[in-house]
Each structure stands twice: as C-alpha cells, then as structure tokens.
Amino acid sequence: MKVQIMTDTRFGNGTKLAETLKGKFPDNYDVKIADVKEVSAEKVAEDVPDVIVLGGAVRMFMGDKKTIKWMKELNNCLKKSGKNIKYGTGFLTHALPTDKVQGYAKRFLEKINNTSAIEKTYSELLTARVEGQEGPILPEEMEKAINYAQSFITWCE
Ligand SMILES: Cc1cc2nc3c(=O)[nH]c(=O)nc-3n(C[C@H](O)[C@H](O)[C@H](O)COP(=O)(O)O)c2cc1C
C-alpha cells in the first residue's frame, strides 16, 4: 500500500505531525511526506497512492486554502487519468482551543469527502493544537494523533 501524506507547513508542526502518523503505519506501507508548496498534485496523481492524508493549518480563520486548492488539482488530474485513490483523511493544526476549530475541521473533511477521486473518506479529521502561533504541538495532542493514526490504519485494512 502506498500512502501519501501532504502538509502545508510554516513552522514545521505539520511535518512533525505527518512524521508521527508515518511512524504508526506497518512496514508493508510505503509512506511518503510532501508539502503542497513543493510537490504538485499532478505528480502525486501520476503516482496513484492507495491512501492520501491531506494536512494543513487553520490560518486567518480559514481551513488551509493551499491544501484545498491542491486537493482540487489532484481531483482534476486523477479524473483525467481515470484513476482513484482508495482511502483519504486529513488533519489541521491550529492555535485556537480544539472546541473552537470544529467548524473548520468539519468543512475541511467535507471537502475531502467531496473529492470524487477519493473513494472513501474517514469519518473524522485529526486536529492538533500548537502552543502559541508557532508551536510545538501540545503533548496531549500528539497522543491524540497516535490514537487517531491507529484507528485510521485499522479502518484502511
Ligand atoms: C498568519 C497566521 C494566521 C493564523 N490564524 C489562525 C487562526 O485563525 N486560527 C488558529 O487557530 N490558528 C491560527 N494561526 C496559527 C496556525 O494555525 C499555526 O501557526 C499552525 O497551525 C502551525 O502549523 P505549521 O507549523 O505546520 O505551519 C495562524 C498563524 C499564522 C501564521
């Protein structure tokens, strides 16, 4: 199984979270991490991963605009080639308390769910609160991420 984890990070918290998720996948999964600013949707669409994790951050009271744009491009590229990705989910890092970002999380997950080239979307988006604006991710949020990864991987299997 090929897994592609995408981030849009400024201070490295998204990458840290992606690495934590990667570490939970069994050895028979080939997991790659890339930033949407560096790797094009076209390239990932050519690779056709089995699993995609679309990560970003809440900024300026919005879910991640760059990742959402990238997700649309991915869908267009996959549709053109007639290929699908089997499983999808996502994550958002944020500075606000967790209960204040549930709306962003819901809308971000809906966007993944509406990406027609992703066949099945996991029922929950991972959110991870950072300390201040720049992080690091709070320790209890890292624990939450580990549990989330385990549930998500079980769901994919
Ligand atoms: C310009 C800017 C705007 C931000 N706006 C918000 C916001 O509206 N709500 C929020 O919870 N966090 C906000 N943050 C904090 C980011 O969510 C935080 O920097 C990010 O999650 C850290 O992850 P990263 O290191 O992967 O970029 C903002 C950060 C920046 C730099």
- Ligand 1 atom nearest to CA at 129: 21
Over residues 53-64, the pLDDT tens digits come to 999 999 999 999
In this prediction, residue 29 has a pLDDT band, given cuts at 50, 70 and 90, of very high
Judged on CB neighbours under 10 Å (0-12, 13-18, 19+), 97 is: exposed
- Ligand 1 atom nearest to CA at 128: 21
Domain spans of the chain, in order of start: 2-156
Given the candidates 1.10.10.10, 3.40.50.360, 3.40.50.10190, 2.160.10.10, the CATH classification of the domain at 2-156 is 3.40.50.360
Of 71, 138, 66, 128, nearest to 101 (Cα)? 128
Q: How far is the CA of 56 from the centre of ligand 1 (A)?
A: 9
Minimal-distance CA residue to ligand 1 atom 23? 13
pTM: 0.98
Q: What is the pLDDT of residue 61?
A: 93
